[in-house]
């Protein structure tokens, strides 16, 4: 948490850092008014020495993504129950926790925030959040693009009262908006009864999520205040939700505009001056080239969500081949110095399909959509500029998405699922596991029926006694998956070659079912060949294809197998992964025994 002290950065120095950024967004008069107020807001937390911290992460960093009420019990508040679960089941597994919006809200499971500075009383209080932060690094959501229609600001807007009357965008209902990129099929402009009559307000995501007007510098100042509050409550990561839509300018696509990038740079610069150890992460579910732009020139996001990974990895496992995954991986530049990819395969949202644009052929795209439908998925659509609709995301539990291939269900669900998670945690970047992936949670169709929202399929709330019973039974999918993934994560956390910024190089085995890449530690004292059979058939790997250094001893960190003959062949079971290394950093006393999956072959 931040500590307050007498300001150690003068107004002049503060102005020299911030004015050039704001000049790309606001007029000189607006900046002259904003800068002293911004300085007064932050001055007690500014540090004299705010050089960039390049050691914010290493191979030991593993994050969990969860709602505050993903696990509930009658004995404690949801946040207290989550803390108990983390301490009991994941204390040696994850190091950080992204608690999805835990504020009072009106819809979208927390992303229509009523009050950014309060904890939802149904979940707990700030003391509960801070208690988790004493054991785990916390990530908070800064839902900066919009606010609930039930918020105080929007009620002020409807009554024409300050300050909220100036915080939103109201346009004539016949304003041309066809150029605006839409993530939803709902109307962009929503009619609202106000004291001034009916006004049509900008609503990118839903009628209940009203976009804020960053053309008013006071809105930006409000969110700097909120960001500082989160830092004071223990946030070590701050996630900018839906940040690509922040700035609006009619006649443009209203996404990724230069003003948006300038505002993100200002958020980062201010964070840098108050605590260089806090990381800023942008959430932009868009095609890969657009997503990469949020690194800026090492002056925007410290981390960006690796949105192309979930759909491409899912497709690779459905097709049993690695070609598109390899093509994408070879196109990915190493993250800039001081930056990292945020790797995930599932989250509270669905599996976004826009990042596959230009990567999957139309027929393969349709096959993936139809295969997921057959496994129980819901498909969410978005509006195109021509008025048509296209699939925006697949809504499904990732565990149920792995119940088969494009040919239909089979007996390899658990192995296929564990393979997907092993690939993810092997890649350059910081791994993040959605809690329902660690718990092998199936589709929650009852939740969809109750809420009417597709995303509810993957937002299950476990009753703690029921979950404990499943986790204590060694033959349930929940127990098997959590035990094996915990084992793999603990091994992974010890390997220098899995540093988020360690070298990564795509390999090209002859067999298209095998996905392989090489990681090398920053000090070049460890190599790991990460090898994965993406199919439901056994395949043979020729070790000579890897060009292993024959003066080293090689072993598989996952199975414990040793390799003496570097010209031999190795038979990979369906969905088997291998971490072949010449220098294992491995403490077997700190990892559980490998889970025996043999009995599952007969399911």
Q: Which residue do the tokens 């038979």 mark? A: 571
Other beta carbons within 10 angstroms of residue 390's beta carbon come to 12
Write down the catalytic residue from 241, 275, 400, 444: 241
Task: State how far Cα 309 lies from the chain centre.
Answer: 11
Minimal CA–CA distance to 314: which of 304, 305, 324?
324
DSSP symbols for 102-134: -S-BSSGGGTSBS-TTS--TTT--HHHHHHHHT
Tokens of 57: 């992460």
Neighbours of 376 (CB within 10 A): 17
Tokens of 450: 């109750």
Q: Compute the distance between CA of residue 418 and CA of residue 488 in angstroms, rounded to an integer.
A: 10
Three-state secondary structure readout of 229-295: HHHHCCEEEEEECCHHHCCCCCCCCCCCCHHHHHHHHHHHHHHHHHCCCCEEEECCCCCHHHHHHHH
Fill in the DSSP letter of residue 497. Answer: G
Binding residues: 108, 146, 239-241, 348-349, 455
Phi-psi region of 77 (alpha: psi -120 to 50; beta: other; left: phi over 0): beta
Can you say which residues are annotated as belonging to the binding site for substrate? 108, 146, 239-241, 348-349, 455
Q: What is the CA radius of gyration of the chain?
A: 24
Contacts by 149-158, CB closer than 8 A, 24 or more apart: 149/106, 149/112, 149/192, 149/207, 149/208, 149/209, 149/210, 150/106, 150/112, 150/114, 150/208, 151/113, 151/114, 151/115, 152/114, 152/115, 154/210, 157/194, 157/201, 158/192, 158/193, 158/194, 158/195
DSSP 142-167: E--SEEETTSHHHHHHHHT-TTGGGS
Helices (H), 375-434: 398-401, 413-426
Structure tokens belonging to residue 225: 């205040």
Q: Is 75 a catalytic residue?
A: no
Q: How many other CB atoms are there within 10 angstroms of residue 583's CB atom?
A: 17
What CA–CA distance (Å, rounded) separates 345 from 200? 37
Which tokens belong to 216? Answer: 């008013």
Q: Which residues are known catalytic residues?
A: 241
């Amino acid at each position: 948490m931040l500590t307050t002290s007498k300001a150690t950065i003068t107004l002049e120095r503060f102005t020299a850092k911030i004015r050039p950024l704001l000049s790309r967004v606001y007029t000189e008069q607006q900046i002259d008014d904003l800068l002293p107020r911004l300085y007064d807001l932050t001055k007690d937390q500014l540090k004299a020495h705010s050089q960039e911290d390049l050691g914010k992460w290493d191979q030991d960093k593993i994050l969990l993504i969860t709602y505050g009420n993903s696990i509930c019990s009658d004995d404690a508040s949801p946040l207290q129950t989550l803390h108990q679960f983390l301490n009991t089941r994941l204390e040696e597994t994850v190091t950080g926790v992204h608690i999805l919006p835990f504020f009072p809200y009106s819809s979208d499971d927390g992303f229509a925030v009523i009050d950014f500075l309060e904890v939802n009383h149904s979940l707990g209080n700030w003391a509960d959040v801070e208690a988790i932060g004493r054991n785990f690094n916390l990530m908070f959501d800064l839902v900066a693009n919009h606010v609930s229609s039930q918020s105080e600001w929007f009620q002020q807007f409807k009554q024409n009262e300050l300050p909220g009357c100036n915080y939103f965008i109201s346009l004539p209902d016949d304003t041309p908006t066809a150029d605006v990129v839409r993530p939803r099929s709902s109307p962009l402009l929503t009619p609202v009864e106000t004291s001034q009559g009916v006004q049509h307000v900008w609503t990118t995501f839903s009628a209940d999520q009203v976009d804020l007007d960053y053309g008013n510098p006071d809105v930006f100042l409000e969110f700097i205040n909120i960001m500082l509050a989160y830092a004071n409550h223990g946030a070590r990561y701050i996630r900018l939700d839906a940040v690509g839509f922040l700035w609006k300018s009619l006649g443009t696509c209203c996404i990724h505009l230069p003003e948006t990038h300038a505002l993100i740079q200002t958020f980062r610069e201010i964070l840098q001056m108050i605590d260089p150890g806090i990381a800023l992460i942008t959430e932009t579910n868009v095609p890969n080239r657009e997503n990469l732009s949020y690194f800026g020139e090492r002056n925007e996001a410290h981390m960006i969500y690796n949105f192309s990974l979930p759909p491409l990895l899912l497709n690779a496992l459905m097709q049993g081949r690695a070609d598109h995954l390899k093509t994408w991986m070879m196109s990915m530049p190493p993250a800039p110095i001081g930056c990292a990819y945020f790797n995930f395969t599932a989250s509270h949202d669905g599996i976004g399909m826009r990042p596959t644009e230009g990567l999957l052929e139309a027929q393969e795209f349709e096959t993936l959509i139809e295969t997921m439908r057959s496994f129980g998925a819901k498909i969410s659509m978005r509006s195109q500029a021509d008025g048509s609709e296209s699939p925006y995301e697949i809504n499904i539990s990732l565990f149920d998405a792995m119940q088969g291939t494009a040919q239909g269900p089979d007996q390899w669900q658990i192995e296929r699922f564990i393979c997907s998670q092993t690939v993810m945690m092997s890649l350059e970047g910081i791994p993040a596991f959605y809690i329902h992936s660690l718990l092998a949670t199936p589709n929650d169709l009852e939740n969809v029926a109750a809420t009417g929202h597709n995303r509810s399929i993957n937002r299950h709330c476990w009753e703690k006694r029921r979950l404990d019973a499943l986790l204590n039974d060694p033959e349930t999918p929940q127990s098997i998956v959590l035990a094996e993934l915990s084992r793999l994560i603990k091994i992974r956390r010890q390997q220098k070659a899995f540093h988020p910024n360690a070298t990564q190089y795509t390999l090209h085995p002859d067999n298209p079912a095998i996905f392989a890449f090489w990681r090398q530690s920053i000090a070049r004292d460890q190599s790991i060949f990460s090898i994965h059979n993406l199919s439901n058939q056994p395949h043979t790997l020729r070790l000579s294809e890897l060009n292993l250094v024959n003066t080293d001893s090689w072993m598989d960190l996952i199975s414990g197998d040793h390799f003496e003959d570097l010209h031999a062949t190795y038979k990979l079971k369906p969905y088997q992964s291998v971490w072949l290394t010449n220098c294992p950093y491995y403490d077997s006393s700190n990892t559980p025994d490998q889970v025996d999956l043999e009995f599952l072959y007969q399911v």
